[in-house]
Amino acid sequence: MIQQIYPSVQHPFQYELNKDMQFAAAHSIPSEEAGHCARVHGHTYFANVTIAGDELDSSGFLVNFAAIKKLIHNRFDHTYLNDHQDVFDNNDPNRFPTTEVVARTIYEIVQAYLDETSNKATCVQVFLRETPTSYCIYRPKKVVTHD
């Protein structure tokens, strides 16, 4: 995997963990304004998920790297994103599988998982590269601390 430097996000936490992963997936953007992207096409997405927190779990992890990979890679790799109707909606422009929405969706999936953990870590950033020259960063508006 290519080493990258990601834009960093300021946060108040002691620990920061970054998980890189890639997944191959196809999608289409169901809008005339999408031009060629309205047709089914594929990408090898490269994602970096940044998780932060103050407390480690009973294994000494902020979060297990394997758990994050399982949540994203295992779910989306070699799939047609538009078929994931639980997270994408071909009738709602706010839920089309654009790079922006896929990045936000990765955040939502990861944060939902973290909310169920004992140490309540926080996903502070998702960096999603769709092509070698195009990427998106999603950051939640507020970083919620779990004091």
Binding site for Zn(2+): which residues? 27, 41, 43
* Tokens read off for 135: 């990427």
Among this protein's residues, is 84 annotated catalytic? no
Please give the sequence-ordered ranges of beta strands (E in DSSP) within 1-147, or none if there are none.
Answer: 15-27, 41-53, 79-80, 122-131, 134-138
By C-alpha distance, which of 140, 2, 31, 9 is closest to 94?
31
Phi-psi label, residue 125: left if phi above 0, alpha if psi -120 to 50, beta otherwise: beta
Phi-psi label, residue 62: left if phi above 0, alpha if psi -120 to 50, beta otherwise: alpha
Beta carbons of 140 and 11 less than 8 angstroms apart = no
Among this protein's residues, is 78 annotated catalytic? yes
3-state secondary structure of 94: helix
User: Which residues sit in the known binding site?
Assistant: 27, 41, 43
Q: Which of 11, 37, 73, 84 is catalytic?
A: 37
Active site residues: 37, 78, 130
